[in-house]
Amino acid sequence: MRALFFVIWLFASLPLLGEGIQKETYRSTISTSRYEVLDLTFRSSYNRQLNPFIVDFEAMVTAPSGKSMRVPGFYNGDKEWIIRFSADEEGIYKYVTSSEIKTLNNKKGSIKVGPNTAPDKKGGVVISKQHPRYFEYQDGSPYFLMAYECDWLYALDYKNEQGIPRTWKLLEQLEENGFNQVVMNVFSYDIDAPHAAWTKDEKLKDFPQYDFGAPQDIFPFLGNNEQPDFSRLNVAFFQKLDRTISALNDKNIVAHLMIYVWNKKVNWPDMYTEADDMYYDYIVKRYGAFPNMLFDVSKEAILYGRADDEYILERIQRIRDNNPFDRLVTVHDYGFCVRHKEKVDFLSRQDWKFRCYDHMIETHRKVKDKPVFNIEHGGYEYSDFEVFPGSYMNAESCLRRNYECLFAGIYSTYYWQGASWNVIVWDPEQLPKEYYRPKYQYFKYLTDFFSTYNFADYAPLELKGRIQEFCLKHNDKEEYLFYIPKELYRKMTWGIMKDDEEVIHYKWYNTLTGEMTTEFKKTKDTFGYQSPWHQEADAILILRRSSETVN
């Protein structure tokens, strides 16, 4: 693990922080690499009348370009204080600390930032300046968001003091199959749905290792969820969460971190209280330096009646105030995002409607200056451990809903019932032979396709004021992508590819196998195109125009 470095002032290492962490003793000048996460660690006692989790401690950091930023620090237990930092420029950064605690105040140093030493590290995810409906990395390379929901990820290896083998196993599967974002909660307690029956599958009694609901000894505050002590935070909880966030960073997977969740039986402190602010601010201070971090105020932020717009707006501002690294911010509530579009970096939408494409294309037409992310489209792929079936469970149906979003210019998310909530099957290959395995490979083929055909280079095609259904056109050339449901007998492209003497090149992509046909040529488009996998698999038709002539 190379993502997290420690600069230590008389510091003894903690085994909770994970494997392979490079530790260095404090010195006036230290070296790191661009995009790496660096912990400047200090030792100091404090007056026990103070709450160390709300003590003022920060560093003013000046970049080589002259830009200054206020980097907030945080308390890490056992008289240890951390300024967590990552750089997006090469050169010499200088810093000076300030704190109400004298022994933490006015500590000066410099950080020599060298070139990025990991070719797969591209910096944080940002909004493309050229195409603001799309994401990219800080280095300008495309970021094609394909998310995976895993709300209880924090709990997967929590009780393992030596490492996170289950987490690594799961993340390796996600990486291999193209997932590059995990939607996760800081903390979830147990499943609950006030408007529906949401109960645990009886089969979990035979597989207790996969049920992470109702943990009695895991809680971000002192005490536990049943008997909380909101006066202080549980440092061990966050030290273990560090391992998970760092592992995601090592795998180049974005942590879409939902700070709150209202429908998972969490015993939260009252809104606007010191405990509420302490918890919220601490998360932003502790995790903002990770390039793979993305903040989401709350899952289904407004839906359950606890929070209102005023509270969510105040929470967004708290992120901005403590987020000098400018990690992206969203809110899992489309209505809120529409009402306050200027306050979020991208819009999150939850839409289960049957005609998913129609609603997504309407959203695309309305929102022209920011990305839109369908974070929950109602497709929850089947698992033998039923958790929450949603509206669609068939793997092909769930896959199709992702394509419906994408061909409307909207990003999307994958849910498997065996990992999205309290049940996490991190090793599906170890299930009994008769048990269902998730079709992760479908998303490898999806992301492979949009690696070849960069998503940000295309947009839904509109002709004469009408959207051409399931069609993306290249922004700079006459090239078209058509999504073809397997039931469609023949795709007509009249009015799009005109009949003339220029050659039409076309080929097909199988969304279930990743097979790409050879490229064919013709000049006339009169009778359309029939998929070689008609009635077998949804396909993508790729058409492009060439000035060559057919022999």
- Write the CB contacts of 107 (distance below 8 Å, at least 6 apart in sequence): 42, 96, 97
Output phi, psi for 170, to 5 deg.
-65, -45
- Check which CATH number belongs to the domain holding 40 and give it: 2.60.40.10
- Residue among 328, 281, 331, 287 at smallest CA distance from 308: 331
Structure-block tokens of residue 283: 């998360």
| Contact indicator for 320, 329 with CB cutoff of 8 Å | yes
Q: Are residues 341 and 247 in the same domain?
A: yes
Q: Are residues 397 and 540 in the same domain?
A: no
| Contact indicator for 253, 299 with CB cutoff of 8 Å | no
Neighbours of 396 (CB within 10 A): 16
Tally of structural domains, the chain: 3
Per-residue DSSP letter, 66: S
| Contact indicator for 104, 57 with CB cutoff of 8 Å | yes
| Contact indicator for 332, 375 with CB cutoff of 8 Å | yes
Q: Are residues 216 and 80 in the same domain?
A: no
**For helices 309-321 and 274-287, what crossing angle results, to 10°?**
40
Look at residue 371 and give its three-state secondary structure.
Answer: coil
- Give Cα 413 distance to the centre of its chain: 9
Locate all alpha helices (DSSP H) within 322-421, ordered by sequence: 334-339, 356-366, 395-406
Residue 140: inside a domain: no
Residue 145: inside a domain: no
Q: Quick one: three-class SS letters along 288-326?
A: CCCCCEEEEEEECCCCCCCCCHHHHHHHHHHHHHCCCCC
b/e string for 400-432 if b means 16 or more Cβ within 10 A?
Answer: bbbbbbbbbbbbbbbbbbbbbbbbbbbebeebe
In single-letter form, the type of residue at position 50 comes to L
In single-letter form, the type of residue at position 205 comes to K
Of 405, 420, 455, the domain-final residue? 455
Q: Are residues 27 and 68 in the same domain?
A: yes
Instruction: Give the model's pLDDT for residue 548.
Output: 61
Instruction: Give the model's pLDDT for residue 525.
Output: 59
Q: Are residues 273 and 355 in the same domain?
A: yes
- Give Cα 146 distance to the centre of its chain: 8
Residue 37: inside a domain: yes
Residue 327: inside a domain: yes
| Contact indicator for 411, 147 with CB cutoff of 8 Å | yes
Burial class (CB in 10 A: 0-12, 13-18, 19+), 247: buried
Residue 346: inside a domain: yes
Rounded CA separation 246/4 (Å): 7
Output phi, psi for 295, to 5 deg.
-100, 135
Q: Are residues 503 and 450 in the same domain?
A: no
Of 402, 420, 455, the domain-final residue? 455
Of 391, 423, 455, the domain-final residue? 455
- Write the CB contacts of 503 (distance below 8 Å, at least 6 apart in sequence): 521, 522, 523, 545, 546, 547, 548, 549, 550
Instruction: Give the model's pLDDT for residue 10.
Output: 33
Instruction: Give the model's pLDDT for residue 494.
Output: 75
Residue 152: inside a domain: no
Residue 122: inside a domain: no
**For helices 395-406 and 441-452, what crossing angle results, to 10°?**
20
Q: Are residues 288 and 204 in the same domain?
A: yes
Per-residue DSSP letter, 517: P
Q: Are residues 279 and 391 in the same domain?
A: yes
Residues making up the chain, counted from first to last? 551
User: Between vectors from CA 375 to CA 369 and to CA 379, what angle results, nearest 5°?
Assistant: 135
DSSP secondary structure string, 420-473?
SSSB--S-GGGS-TTS----THHHHHHHHHHHHTTGGGEEEEEETTEEEEEEEE
Q: Which of left, alpha, beta for 315 (phi over 0: left; psi -120 to 50: alpha)?
A: alpha
Domain that holds residue 490: 477-546
Q: Are residues 109 and 179 in the same domain?
A: no
Q: Are residues 404 and 323 in the same domain?
A: yes
Low-confidence ranges of the chain (pLDDT < 70): 1-27, 192-197, 464-465, 498-501, 524-526, 547-551
Q: Are residues 220 and 277 in the same domain?
A: yes
Residue 291: inside a domain: yes
Q: Are residues 92 and 187 in the same domain?
A: no
| Contact indicator for 286, 74 with CB cutoff of 8 Å | yes
